[in-house]
Amino acid sequence: MAESKVAKAGRKKPETHLGMVRRARKINRELAELYPYAHPELDFDGPFQLLVATVLSAQTTDLRVNQTTPALFAKYPTPEDLAAAVPEELEEIIRPTGFFRAKAKSLIGLSIALRDRYDGEVPRKLEDLVTLPGVGRKTANVVIGNAFGGAGITVDTHFGRLARRFGWTTAEDPEQVEADVMAIFPKSEWTMLSHRVVFHGRRVCHARKPACGACPIAPLCPSYGIGETDPDQARKLLKYELAGQPGQRLRPPADFPGEVAARAEVAAGHPLPDTAPDAVRAARKNAGGQE
């Protein structure tokens, strides 16, 4: 029997590589509109602090790192200071970040390397950064992209998860994910793409229960439906500034809407300030609260 026109119309054609690239770049543009304030969520002043904070961020939250680093950098402000740290004293300071013994060993080791091999300066090249103890490609790309203004794709758990959900890659290996995504986007987009995707992963596209029904890029996502699709229920899953809450940085950029959201939460139920960014205002309205 000949296939009906209805059946043919309902059957989707496989996506071509060109079609995937176009869809991926449209997702990036949509994320840029959703998160114009996207940024690294670690507090830092300079390359050394960012390098240390990123090493500490493994297997913990950026918020926990941001709560820990002020005391750390007050005691060990330079690579030379950290290279000479007493391990037990360093471990006690960074204990809240977890895996504190291994992290202390890495921090002392990388600081010794910076002191002895790089005159106390953080190198700018990826091939040099990855020779430092505790520093892999992810950490190196964070430093290159955010401390030196270079280009790098940061494949953390959030980025890898969303890259697979978006259909940009099928790889589980972070280096292969990085290579696959690099081939899709121009180099000039790599660093900000990383921030936008990680922001979306932390706020909307969660690991266990993504908020599909409240996701602005749902029409572009081949994984739509793996999470909560009911709009009202999905909005309850939104986090940080999209839920009217502060973000993870203790010293966020001036334009981060979480600052406004944090002040608004002090007077819960009251209208948002006139200065509230559109992203926060829309999120509060969608969540059923007052603008």
**Catalytic residue IDs:** 138, 156
User: What DSSP assignment string belongs to 94-145?
Assistant: HGGGS-HHHHHHHHHHHHHHHHHHSTT---SSHHHHTTSTT--HHHHHHHHH
Closest CA to 208 of 242, 178, 239: 239
Half-sphere exposure of 260 (CA within 13 A, CB side): 21
CA distances from 275 to 196, 281, 290 (A): 23, 10, 14
Burial of 127 per CB tally in 10 Å (0-12, 13-18, 19+)? exposed
Q: Where do we find the tokens 């300066």?
A: 121
- Please give the angle made by the CA atoms of 216, 251 and 194, to the nearest 5 degrees: 40
